[in-house]
Amino acid sequence: MNKILKWTLAISGVGLLIYIVFWIYAMASFSDVFDTFYTTQDLIDNYNKKTTEIIELKNYVNKIVPPNKQVDIEFEDNNTLGIFHVTVDDNQESYWDIKVNSGKADSLLQKLGWTTNTLKTLKYKLDKANCISVKSGEPCNIGFQRSGMGKYFYNIFDKPIADSLQADYNDSCTYILYNDKVVLEYGGGAFGSQCFPNYKRGEQ
């Protein structure tokens, strides 16, 4: 009986040690991602400074994506795509953390009629706008920066937002109506708060 107890405790101890080591490794691996923090004011300041570049980015991506398709793409650097999702007639094919020069990327590029040069141009325009991601459509959703576990976005509309929709896009939690064509957005990720930092429930 004592041997069984000893083996049980030994196995439990090893399992706990592996668990602790895993989490230490995971936190160390992602520490660079979570170390950078931005504010709502940074989001606003960047839009005011980069308005022309952000609008050019919106126009460019919506021009090069076919009408029946949608792309959602985020660059980690010049060679790596943190997100590359393509939707064709409501059927989505999704990849995370893939290389620009890879078979997986090529398969989605073919669906869009793009080349790696298209990605280079898109990355260039994102850099000019000081942004990291873009999702085509109306509105065009442009990712400003990741902040800790969250991420800030711009939703850029082609036409003024209908009065009937303005309340939905101005809840002060996920969305803040900046002007009649621009909505600011914050997403907290899988574990973080889904509201803008400093949001107080019940305040509009």
Average pLDDT over residues 51-60: 98
Residue 23 pLDDT greater than 80, yes or no? no
| Side-chain-side CA neighbours of residue 2 (13 Å) | 0
Quickly state the pLDDT bin for 90 (edges 50, 70, 90): confident
Distance CA 204, CA 196 (A): 12
Which is more confidently placed, 3 or 34?
A: 3
Q: Which of 20-29, 93-102, 123-132, 189-198 has the lowest mean pLDDT?
A: 20-29
Whether 53 contacts 129, CB under 8 Å: yes
pLDDT tens digit string along 144-184?
999 988 999 999 999 999 999 998 999 888 999 999 999 99
User: Highest mean pLDDT: which of 1-10, 15-24, 119-128?
Assistant: 119-128
Concatenating the DSSP letter of every residue in 60-122 gives: HHHHHS-TTEEEEEEESSSSEEEEEEEEETTEEEEEEEEESSSHHHHHHHHHHT--HHHHHHH
Which is more confidently placed, 76 or 149?
A: 76
Which is more confidently placed, 88 or 34?
A: 88
Whether 63 contacts 46, CB under 8 Å: no
* Percent of the chain whose pLDDT exceeds 90: 68
Whether 175 contacts 18, CB under 8 Å: no
Q: Give the mean pLDDT of the chain.
A: 85
**Which of 63, 65, 59 lies closest to 157, judged by CA?**
59
Q: Residue 194 has what pLDDT?
A: 76
Concatenating the DSSP letter of every residue in 128-162 gives: HTT--EEE-SSSEEEEEEEETTEEEEEEE-SSPPP
